[in-house]
Amino acid sequence: MPERIIVPFGPQHPVLPEPIHLDLVLEDEKVVEAIPSIGYIHRGLERLVQKREYTEYVYVAERICGICSFIHALCYSQGVEHIMKIEVPDRARYLRTIWSECSRIHSHLLWLGLFADGMGFENLFMRSWQLRESVLDVLEDTTGGRVIQGTCKVGGVRRDIGQEKLDEMHRTLDPFEQQCRDLGDVFLNDDTVKYRLKGLGVISKDEAYDLGAAGPTARGSGVAMDHRETGYAAYGDLGFKPVVETTGDCYARCAVRVKEVYASIDLIRRAIEEMPEGPIDVKVKGTPDGEYFSRAEQPRGEVIHYLKGDGSKHLARARIRTPTLANIPPLVKMLPGIQLADVPVVVLSIDPCIGCMER
């Protein structure tokens, strides 16, 4: 029987964009067990809910994660709105949807670049990030911020998008989509990429469901769960359907994200075309008294903000469950049986966000 050794993987690693740490038990070059360690960058953000007024905590919620910052703010805001029975104007719902989908596109393009880099495709990495810059430019034009937008608030949004800018965005969507499809064609059809990804890090539909996988990690295994289907923000008006693959390997998880970029572009196009007139916020009076599980779909999967108010200007409790935490057990299931050289690709395939996970 080969001798077993333990090799630490992370938190610093040339391929990893996030400080994830795994102890890998190896027999020769083969992984037989993976033991995760959580808590490396804990920041104590949930404690701040007792030190910041509920309207101010939106800014803290945005900074849980830089990549999906707007969706964190949206999830928190709609939780408080539900507790306080605040009806958000229709135009604000549509603007929230546009910015959420812009965040999803730039997150997926960022991930595609990092995934290409993990496989050794430097030019593919640069092309993915070049396209991502176009999305960041739109976010900067419409919100003032490239990564942290600061536009979502309890009761609506802080900024509107004028009709001239909406028309300009609509005109650029077709050429941008074509560029994304040219990029996606490489990830989906290149023989080298398929050879590297197909059959690697496989997790079945039943395993993904039982282990609580979220987002593209679950949908890549055939679990058709996407919280946008529940119709929060303006998704109920836009007729959203989730992107699902069935093979459950790294290629399937990559394909889900590539196709979600196309779906997000279509959602933005329809949101612009159907944008209602009217106010972008309502006046918020009083303080939250009650509790609510607020849910939204981040690029990595479903995020949950549990909020509890006691009638004061500070919330009594906030608890956040992020998709990366849900995807760690499936990741641990994927790793045994693969070669050590393939570990970075499998880890990247769940799109880990450790800043989110270890608040």
Q: Which residues are annotated as a binding site for Fe cation?
A: 68, 356
Angstrom distance (rounded) from CA 167 to CA 133? 20
Q: How many distinct helices (H) and strands (E) make up the chain?
A: 13, 8
Beta-carbon neighbour count of residue 79 at 10 Å?
A: 28
Side chain identity at residue 127, one-letter code: R
Binding residues: 46, 65, 68, 320, 353, 356
3-state SS assignment for residue 178: helix
289-298 and 301-310 strand pairing: antiparallel
Residue-wise burial string across 250-282, b where 16 or more C-beta atoms lie within 10 A, e elsewhere: bbbbbbbbbbbbebbbebbbbbbeebeeeebbe
Residue the block writes with tokens 């889900």: 256
Angstrom distance (rounded) from CA 35 to CA 53? 39
Binding residues for Ni(2+): 65, 68, 353
Cis ω for the linkage preceding 323 (within 30 of 0): no
**Residues 296 and 320 sit within 8 Å (Cβ to Cβ):** no
Tokens (6 digits) for 39: 């808590």
Binding residues for Mg(2+): 46, 320
